[in-house]
Amino acid sequence: MNTLLKPAYGNTQLTARQILRDPLLFLAFGFGSGLSRYMPGTMGTIAAIPLYLLLMATDNVTVYGVATLVATVLGVWICQYAADKLAVHDFGGIVWDEVAGLLITLLGFSFSWPVLLAGFVLFRLFDIVKPWPIRWVDKRIHGGLGIMLDDVLAALLANLVLHLIF
């Protein structure tokens, strides 16, 4: 039977239940969205939208900025932990980098659906295509920092293009 979930994850063959029960793996897998058999990076970015909306509801740019910084900095540790637990460097289900990436992409904008949609598309595009220097970083920097850094760069590029558009 073909389901949305895989039977096991990573070289250590963790189950979805094991991942969901471990708080750090739960975060690394984007609140469980990275468990998806299909397009886990996109699912992780979708999972970031409620967090983005919650942060925007505070109507406080400082809260949004600090939360984004914390998500990004702690993301290095969270992603390293998950990579170690799975025994895979950049396992596709590790999507905390996409969560932080969407927050970075939308940093500095007031909420609007067009900005959110454009930011989502631009971030996914740059994260998938990996133009220079993103591809260079992705190939050469490993560990939690490498997992996070290529998405941070994709998000910064998406943020720049968003500023040019809006």
Reply yes or no on whether the pLDDT at 1 is more than 70.
no
d(CA 128, CA 154): 9
Q: Which pLDDT belongs to residue 82?
A: 97
Q: How many CB atoms lie within 10 A of CB 133?
A: 12
pLDDT tens-digit series, residues 75-129: 999 999 999 999 998 899 999 999 999 999 999 999 999 999 999 999 999 999 9
Return the structure tokens found at 141: 């920097």
3-class state of residue 110 by DSSP: coil
- pTM score of the predicted model: 0.94
Structure confidence by residue, pLDDT tens digits, 11-54: 999 999 999 999 999 999 999 999 999 999 999 999 999 999 99
Rounded to whole angstroms, the Cα distance separating 75 from 142 reads 14
pLDDT band, residue 6 (cuts 50/70/90)? confident
Contacts of 105 (CB under 8 A, 6+ apart): 119, 120, 122, 123, 155, 158, 159, 162
